[in-house]
């Protein structure tokens, strides 16, 4: 199913604005069987039909049918949706409620423009900061200093920030120990070790380079050790996921066009990422850019994109020489990996191949952790409830480590564990594989 | 439009968080899974206990407000659609399992408990609640009782009705009726319980249900058979029954359904085959062995194209889960899926398939058929587009003709979905004007003011059918 969005249309769809409107066929597709309801975290939290995938699609249809204006409640539901895509996995009819809501977010900005200050701030973040790797890195400098000088320790222990609005305290609390961003340290080309199996373009995501440079360093190390020459273009820009999530589809398109050309210019067999959010966005370029780039280019790009675990299972993990990592683990499935990309078995297969690792299955492993880009900060109370459900299941496994494969999840889960005083450590799958891989 | 006063009263009695009246909420509480019916209520309430239901009923009486009960809105005949507007009474917040009585083998639960949750809770105690409608992971027990829902295990284990032992309900006059109990025998007076099961929310609002539990089968085997001709599959079903083998499940899917389901589940179903039968036999291991042999012998005899036995429980569960998605998966093909519930005596299955094929050609439609072949209960589903008026007309003509045949063969217009809004005319055809009159008298005895789920099952002339809810 290609043809998903209409970038703009001469005919107006009901009460939607013409720019980036959903397709009528997409909202009509829902036959209201309700199979999505028990899989939707916001429906389970509220028990309110309009906060369910079926309800949200029905609202979008009502707007398309001109039975409802694009009201504040529609906007609210578009943003209250976690965009976790669990409903996409559950839907036998192929309805993609999360994506319809993503489009409604961009509609919301047309109907409810922000005030001057808010608009300026939003544009600064989405259109200035995020598209520029260098600006992002500079902006993180004070934060790193703040940690290094011990101010963070003071702030956390004196609970100074708790006085401010909740989200700020949470955002501060979520920050991992920051190292230098990886982007400028990582050589653009890293040779393969042993018998070479191909060339990989590594898509280094913004959150990975800034917050988890150690993880991506491991990813590259693993790729090289597995026999792949790794090319990481320094010019790589943000994948556009934050823009899609915030409803700025136009900037997302510009970033996508840039990355598309950048990676297609390289002579690489695959494009691999270790960030589930980036992976999902990259795989959607084909639809996002339909009409904005040649179809052949989009298809070629799409055919190369892999999540790291999907890739390693596809090419086959070379296990000889891997060191033993004696530990018990459980695996939390990032929504943007299992639901948005359908990659669910591969991370578990990888874990089982690491010598010494005992994998314990997590109950409701594919249930969202409540992070969901900025959702966890906007709806901090609801996010906590979603997180608590997850943490209880993690606790029940008694595993030493909680493994995941997406920085958003990792930030939220590590924060939740710290707050709950848990001794279970949260790690990225590639950190674990990195530990097993000789230097 | 409701007065502020009524909303205030409802909020005072039920709690402000349990009353909704904004347009966006009304828009999504006026549908179920039935295509083409979508009407707006004026208010929705979410009682958390029986007193809340009573309060809502009192206010509805005082305000002359129609009241339509709703579970998860997964019905397939429009039973929970507020045909005359008014109040939708959502029972989802009454979702406690109150008791699992291992001495009497019963479970008691509130009406809003999800079917699968009850199944899992009793399974954890080594017991079995067999009714398993396709929507079991979200459908509510109350909804199952009101529509007398069936499921994949109906052939051997029966339907919801066969498990209901006691009901507690609020009647339209605000009295509370308890009927039935944990005694396995009970002939005291009229069987209200049996009348209420399948009454589609027109007689009372169920608040609590006690169901019968049974020990789970010790063993089971799942067999998958493929056919080059759907009529051969029908023949196989009739022959298995005639051989006095009662499998727990005997489900059929035609080619269109197989392909849609495979598009979704991707478990390697045979796309090129005309039909498949999913057969499960269960019980004591020795009996399972014998029955499985018997089934396989018949499949060989009718020359099924291929026969496979599931190698693991996981594989068997995946097949059953795949079958449950059939209806929703068919919705991949077209914007609208019109589904029917025709049920015939099992000896007529092969003829029914032939008739469906004939009518599909006659009306130039796309039809996917699946269903509980062992029960003679088929779901021929027209894959169409509600925006195409001509196609919709042909679809209705298709069902008109089909039901003529089904009734002539001694079948029924609804095996398990109920009449609701969707099949009133067909019911009148089946039971005749006299039958409808008696049903109306029963309705009047319970609900003289016609407040409870008006407009369902039969056309309600007394309160005048022309006054419809606001169409969405």
Predicted confidence at residue A376, as pLDDT, reads: 85
With a cut of 90, say whether residue A10 has pLDDT above it.
no
With a cut of 80, say whether residue A151 has pLDDT above it.
no
Query: What span, in angstroms and rounded, lies between the C-alpha atoms of B429 and B431?
Result: 6
Q: What is the pTM of this model?
A: 0.92
Q: A74: nearest CA in chain B?
A: B24
Total domains present in chain B: 2
Q: Note whether residue B413 is domain-resident.
A: no
Q: Note whether residue A229 is domain-resident.
A: no
With a cut of 70, say whether residue A152 has pLDDT above it.
no
**Which percentage of chain B shows pLDDT scores above 90?**
92
Give me chain A's average pLDDT, please: 90
Q: Note whether residue B342 is domain-resident.
A: yes
Q: Tell me the residue range of the domain where A417 lies.
A: 322-436
Determine the average pLDDT of the residues in B289-300.
97
With a cut of 60, say whether residue A165 has pLDDT above it.
no
Question: B122: pLDDT confidence band, cut at 50, 70 and 90?
Answer: very high
Q: Which distant-in-sequence residues (6+ apart) come within 8 Å of B311 by Cβ?
A: none
Q: Note whether residue A388 is domain-resident.
A: yes
Predicted complex ipTM: 0.94
Token readout for B186 is 């009970």
Token readout for A288 is 């996002």
How near does any CA of chain B get to the CA of A107, in Å? 17
Q: Note whether residue B357 is domain-resident.
A: yes
**Which percentage of chain B shows pLDDT scores above 70?**
97
CATH number at residue A419: 3.40.50
B31: nearest CB among A25, A32, A74? A32
Query: What span, in angstroms and rounded, lies between the C-alpha atoms of B269 and B261?
Result: 8
Name the β-bridge partners of B210: B108, B166
Q: Which of A77, A111, A145 is the last residue of a domain?
A: A111
Q: Note whether residue A271 is domain-resident.
A: no
Spatial CA neighbour of A189 closest among A237, A212, A223: A223
Predicted confidence at residue A356, as pLDDT, reads: 97
Q: Note whether residue A396 is domain-resident.
A: yes
Predicted confidence at residue A159, as pLDDT, reads: 56
Q: Which spans in A67-195 are helix H?
A: 72-80, 86-90, 97-111, 116-123, 133-148, 151-158, 166-174
Tell me the backbone φ, ψ of residue B329, rounded to 5 degrees.
Answer: -65, -35
With a cut of 90, say whether residue A129 has pLDDT above it.
no
Q: Note whether residue B322 is domain-resident.
A: yes
Query: What span, in angstroms and rounded, lies between the C-alpha atoms of B63 and B79?
Result: 22
Question: A150: pLDDT confidence band, cut at 50, 70 and 90?
Answer: low
Q: Note whether residue A332 is domain-resident.
A: yes
How near does any CA of chain A get to the CA of B417, in Å? 13
Q: Note whether residue B18 is domain-resident.
A: yes
Q: Which residues of B touch A55 (CB under 8 A)?
A: 28
CATH number at residue B67: 3.30.43.10
How near does any CA of chain A get to the CA of B77, in Å? 12
> DSSP letters of B342-395?
-B--GGGHHHHHHHHHHHHHHTT--EEEEEEGGGTEEEEEEEE-TT-HHHHHHH
Q: Which distant-in-sequence residues (6+ apart) come within 8 Å of B447 by Cβ?
A: B171, B172, B202, B203
Q: Which of B57, B90, B123 is the last residue of a domain?
A: B90
Q: Count of residues for chain A? A: 439
How near does any CA of chain B get to the CA of A88, in Å? 11
Query: What span, in angstroms and rounded, lies between the C-alpha atoms of B420 and B400?
Result: 17
Cα-to-chain-centroid distance, residue B10: 31
pLDDT tens for residues B389-433? 999 999 999 999 999 999 999 999 999 999 999 899 999 999 999
Q: Which residues of A touch B74 (CB under 8 A)?
A: 33-34
Q: Note whether residue A412 is domain-resident.
A: yes
Determine the average pLDDT of the residues in A265-289.
96
Q: Note whether residue B366 is domain-resident.
A: yes
> DSSP letters of B17-86?
GGEE--HHHHHTSSB-SSTT-BEE-SEEE--SSHHHHHHHHHHHHHHT--EEEESSS--SS-TTS-TT-S
CATH number at residue A47: 1.10.1060.10
Q: A95: nearest CA in chain B?
A: B332
Spatial CA neighbour of B272 closest among B306, B321, B316: B306
pLDDT tens for residues B37-67? 999 999 999 999 999 999 999 999 999 999 9
Predicted confidence at residue B422, as pLDDT, reads: 87
Check CB contact of A50 with chain B, cutoff 8 Å.
yes
Q: Note whether residue A269 is domain-resident.
A: no
Determine the average pLDDT of the residues in A146-161.
61
Q: Note whether residue A156 is domain-resident.
A: no
Is B164:B193 a contact under the CB 8 Å cutoff? yes
Q: Which of B62, B90, B118 is the last residue of a domain?
A: B90
Q: Note whether residue B423 is domain-resident.
A: no
Interface test with B, best of A48, A74, A86 (most B CBs within 10 A): A48
With a cut of 90, say whether residue B83 has pLDDT above it.
yes
Q: Which residues of B touch A38 (CB under 8 A)?
A: 114, 137-138
User: What is the spatial order of strands in the sheet that A357-360 belongs to?
Assistant: A357-360, A327-331, A401-404, A425-428
Question: B28: pLDDT confidence band, cut at 50, 70 and 90?
Answer: very high
CB contact under 8 A, B72 and A34: yes
Predicted confidence at residue B465, as pLDDT, reads: 39
Is B68:B88 a contact under the CB 8 Å cutoff? yes
Question: A12: pLDDT confidence band, cut at 50, 70 and 90?
Answer: confident
Q: A161-165, A335-339, B181-185 — which is least confidently predicted? A: A161-165
Determine the average pLDDT of the residues in A27-32.
92
User: What residues of chain A, 79 to 98, have a C-beta less than 8 Å from chain B?
Assistant: 91-94
With a cut of 50, say whether residue A74 has pLDDT above it.
yes
DSSP A334: P
Q: Tell me the residue range of the domain where B54 lies.
A: 4-90
Q: Which of A78, A111, A144 is the last residue of a domain?
A: A111
Is A63:A16 a contact under the CB 8 Å cutoff? yes
How near does any CA of chain A get to the CA of B269, in Å? 15
With a cut of 50, say whether residue B467 has pLDDT above it.
no
Residues of chain B whose beta carbon is less than 8 angstroms from a beta carbon of chain A are 20, 22-25, 27-29, 31-33, 35, 46, 72-74, 92-93, 114, 135, 137-139, 261, 263-264, 325, 327-329, 331-332, 335-337, 472
Interface test with A, best of B78, B120, B138, B338 (most A CBs within 10 A): B138
CATH number at residue B316: 3.40.462.10
Predicted confidence at residue B2, as pLDDT, reads: 84
Query: What span, in angstroms and rounded, lies between the C-alpha atoms of B45 and B67?
Result: 10
Question: B464: pLDDT confidence band, cut at 50, 70 and 90?
Answer: very low
Tokens 């996917």 found at: B368
**For chain A, counts of helices (H) and of strands (E):** 24, 11
Half-sphere exposure of B387 (CA within 13 A, CB side): 7
Q: Note whether residue B146 is domain-resident.
A: no
Give me chain B's average pLDDT, please: 94
Question: A78: pLDDT confidence band, cut at 50, 70 and 90?
Answer: very high
**Number of neighbours of residue B271 by Cβ within 10 angstroms:** 10
Spatial CA neighbour of A104 closest among A130, A71, A65, A131: A71
Q: Count of residues for chain B? A: 472
Total domains present in chain A: 2
Q: Which of A94, A111, A128 is the last residue of a domain?
A: A111
Q: A49: nearest CA in chain B?
A: B28
Query: What span, in angstroms and rounded, lies between the C-alpha atoms of B148 and B131?
Result: 10
Predicted confidence at residue A213, as pLDDT, reads: 95
Rg of the Cα atoms in chain A? 21
Q: Which of B35, B57, B90 is the last residue of a domain?
A: B90
Is A210:A136 a contact under the CB 8 Å cutoff? yes
């Amino acid at each position: 199913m290609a043809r998903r969005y209409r970038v703009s249309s001469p005919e107006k769809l009901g009460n939607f604005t013409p720019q980036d409107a959903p397709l009528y066929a997409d909202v009509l597709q829902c036959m209201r069987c309700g199979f999505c309801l028990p899989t939707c975290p916001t429906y389970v939290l509220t028990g309110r039909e309009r906060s369910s995938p079926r309800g949200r699609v029905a609202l979008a249809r009502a707007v398309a049918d001109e039975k409802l204006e694009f009201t504040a409640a529609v906007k609210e539901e578009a943003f209250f949706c976690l965009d976790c895509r669990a409903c996409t996995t559950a839907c036998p009819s192929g309805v993609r409620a999360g994506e319809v809501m993503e489009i409604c977010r961009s509609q919301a900005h047309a109907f409810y423009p922000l005030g001057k200050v808010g608009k300026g701030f939003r544009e600064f973040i989405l259109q200035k900061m995020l598209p520029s790797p260098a600006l992002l890195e500079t902006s993180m400098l004070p934060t790193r200093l703040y940690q290094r000088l011990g101010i963070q320790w003071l702030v956390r222990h004196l609970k100074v920030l708790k006085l401010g609005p909740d989200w700020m305290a949470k955002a501060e609390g979520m920050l991992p120990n920051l190292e230098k961003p990886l982007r400028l340290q990582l050589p653009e080309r890293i040779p393969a070790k042993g018998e070479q199996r191909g060339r990989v373009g590594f898509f280094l995501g913004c959150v990975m380079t800034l917050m988890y440079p150690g993880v991506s360093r491991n990813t590259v190390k693993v790729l090289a050790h597995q026999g792949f020459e790794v090319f990481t273009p320094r010019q790589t820009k943000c994948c556009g996921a934050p823009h899609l999530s915030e409803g700025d589809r136009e900037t997302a398109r510009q970033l996508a066009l840039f990355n598309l050309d950048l990676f297609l210019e390289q002579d690489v067999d695959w494009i691999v990422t270790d960030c589930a959010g980036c992976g999902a966005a990259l795989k959607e370029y084909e639809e996002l850019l339909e009409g904005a780039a040649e179809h052949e280019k989009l298809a070629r790009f799409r055919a190369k994109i892999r999540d790291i675990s999907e890739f390693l299972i596809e090419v086959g993990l070379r296990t000889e020489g891997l060191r033993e990592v004696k530990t018990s683990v459980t695996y939390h499935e990032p929504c943007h990996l299992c639901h948005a990309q359908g990659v669910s078995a591969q991370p578990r297969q990888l874990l089982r191949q690491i010598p010494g690792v005992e994998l314990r299955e997590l109950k409701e492993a594919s249930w969202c952790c409540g992070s969901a880009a900025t959702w966890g900060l906007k709806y901090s109370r609801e996010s906590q409830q979603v997180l608590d459900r997850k943490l209880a299941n993690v606790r029940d496994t008694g595993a030493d480590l909680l493994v995941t494969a997406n920085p958003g999840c990792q930030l939220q889960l590590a924060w939740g564990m710290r707050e709950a005083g848990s001794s279970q450590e949260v790690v990225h799958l590639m950190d674990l594989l990195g530990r097993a891989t000789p230097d | 439009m409701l007065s502020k006063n009524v909303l205030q009263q409802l909020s005072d009695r039920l709690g402000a968080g349990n009353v909704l009246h904004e347009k966006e909420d009304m828009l999504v509480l006026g549908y179920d899974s039935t295509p083409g019916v979508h009407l707006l209520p004026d208010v929705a309430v979410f009682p958390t206990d029986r007193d809340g239901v009573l309060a809502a009923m009192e206010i509805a009486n005082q305000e002359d407000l129609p009241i339509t009960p709703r579970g998860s809105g997964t019905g397939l005949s429009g039973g929970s659609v507020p045909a005359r507007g008014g109040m939708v009474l959502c029972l989802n917040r009454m979702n406690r399992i109150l008791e699992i009585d291992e001495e009497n083998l019963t479970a008691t639960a509130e009406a809003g408990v999800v079917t699968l949750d009850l199944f899992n809770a009793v399974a954890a105690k080594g017991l079995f609640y067999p009714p398993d409608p396709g929507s079991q992971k979200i459908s509510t027990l109350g909804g199952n009782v009101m529509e007398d829902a069936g499921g994949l295990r109906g052939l051997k284990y029966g339907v919801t009705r066969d498990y209901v032992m006691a009901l507690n309900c609020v009647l339209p006059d605000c009295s509370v009726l308890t009927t039935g109990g944990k005694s396995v025998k009970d002939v005291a007076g009229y069987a209200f319980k049996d009348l209420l099961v399948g009454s589609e929310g027109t007689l009372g609002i169920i608040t609590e249900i006690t169901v019968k539990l049974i020990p789970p089968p010790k063993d089971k085997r799942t067999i998958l058979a493929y056919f080059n001709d759907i009529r051969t599959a029908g023949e196989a079903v009739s022959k298995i029954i005639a051989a006095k083998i009662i499998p727990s499940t005997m489900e059929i899917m035609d080619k269109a359904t197989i392909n849609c389901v495979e598009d979704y589940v991707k478990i390697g179903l045979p796309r090129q085959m005309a039909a498949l039968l999913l057969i499960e036999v269960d019980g004591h291991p020795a009996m399972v062995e014998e029955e499985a042999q018997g089934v396989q012998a018949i499949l060989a005899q009718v020359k099924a194209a291929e026969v496979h036995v599931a190698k693991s429980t996981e594989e068997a569960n995946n097949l059953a889960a795949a079958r449950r998605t059939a209806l929703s998966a068919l919705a991949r093909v077209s914007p609208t899926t019109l589904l029917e519930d025709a049920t015939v005596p099992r000896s007529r299955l092969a003829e029914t398939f032939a008739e469906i094929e004939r009518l599909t050609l006659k009306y130039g439609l796309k039809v996917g058929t699946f269903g509980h072949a062992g029960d003679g209960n088929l779901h021929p589903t027209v894959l169409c587009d509600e925006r195409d008026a001509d196609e919709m007309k042909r679809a209705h003509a298709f069902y008109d003709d089909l039901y003529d045949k089904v009734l002539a063969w001694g079948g029924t217009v609804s095996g398990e979905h109920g009449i609701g809004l969707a099949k009133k005319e067909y019911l009148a055809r089946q039971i005749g004007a006299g039958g409808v009159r008696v049903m109306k008298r029963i309705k009047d005895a319970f609900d003289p003011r016609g407040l409870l789920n008006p407009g369902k099952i039969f056309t309600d002339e007394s309160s005048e059918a022309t006054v419809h809810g606001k169409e969405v």
